Amino acid sequence: MEILNKIKSRITGTTPQTNGNKLGEWREGCGYNVKCKYDVVYSSGIYTGTDTEWANVGIPHSVIDKINRECPGKFGWRFEVSNDIKYAIISFDNREYAFWFNLQYSKQ
């Protein structure tokens, strides 16, 4: 049974959005899994399926909260995995804000 639990935790992973925790109140049309025109990769890292690796790549709540307060237009964030790399992506409708955010905050 222990081996099954290890396999399950490696496959499923958790995020605040999937484990029931609510990060905050977002403006209408903004939030988790909202995709806008301009993407910024906030951070990335190796991901082979473990919770520890999943947790190593993320977006701090303080960053999302600041965007929610200051960004003109809509925004969203999501996580994507491609070729064993996890990407934490923030997207914006406003091109200028996306550019400014990329210069100020992106870890890439």
Given a cut of 50, whether residue 40 has pLDDT beyond it is yes
| Domain spans in the chain, listed from the N-terminal domain onward | 2-13+26-104
pTM of the model: 0.74
Separation between Cα atoms, residue 30 and residue 97, nearest integer Å: 15
Amino acid at 46: I
CB burial of 43-76 (b: ≥16 within 10 Å; e: otherwise) equals bbbebeeeeebbeebbbeeebbeebbeebebbbb
For 15-90, where are the alpha helices, taking DSSP H only? 51-56, 61-70
Token output for 77: 């964030």
Q: What is the overall mean pLDDT for the chain?
A: 82
pLDDT in tens, 56-93: 899 999 999 999 999 999 999 999 999 999 999 999 99
Separation between Cα atoms, residue 33 and residue 18, nearest integer Å: 12
